Structure 1
């Protein structure tokens, strides 16, 4: 896998982790405005980065969250378990 692609994928996973952690925190602290602002910032960055990644490398999931170019790109390698980090 090219370094640029791997770097982008790792950044996607990092932002997803931040969003999950903040989401869990906000489940128990829904009035924490600072945490909500952080969550919204990371969620926005994540959405933009996922869109950028998918435009370059194809979809990150196969459940209708992203359109595919022709030919159908979901089947292109590497599969998640084949990626060497």
Structure 2
């Protein structure tokens, strides 16, 4: 697997974690404007990185969350859980 693919997947994982972490913080601090701005920024970065990955390498999720180009790309290998990621 190419380094750029690994790097992009790592970025997606990091941004996903950061979004979840900020979400948990905001559950307890819903009026923190700076945290909301950070959360929104991280969510946008996550969506951009995910879209870039999916356009280049295919969908990461199924069940209607990831639009597909023709032909339907979900059936292409390797599937997200079959991919090996190196540190």
Cα distance in 2 for partners of 1:39, 1:33 equals 10
What is the TM-score with the length of structure 2 in the denominator?
A: 0.87
Structure 2: gaps of 5 or more residues: none
Cα distance in 2 for partners of 1:25, 1:60 equals 26
Pick which of 72-81 and 3-12 moved more. Answer: 72-81
Partner residue in 1 for 2:16? 16
Cα distance in 2 for partners of 1:16, 1:81 equals 16
The verdict on how the C-alpha distance between 1:80 and 1:60 changes in structure 2, with shifts beyond 3 A counting, is closer
Partner residue in 1 for 2:70? 70
What is the TM-score with the length of structure 1 in the denominator?
A: 0.89
Structure 1: gaps of 5 or more residues: none
How many matched pairs?
A: 85
Alignment of 1:48-59 (within 5 A): 48-59=48-59
Cα distance in 2 for partners of 1:2, 1:74 equals 20
1:71 positional shift: 2.2
1:77 positional shift: 2.2
Partner residue in 2 for 1:4? 4
Residue 58 (structure 2) pairs with residue 45 (structure 1): no
Cα distance in 1 for partners of 2:77, 2:63 equals 17
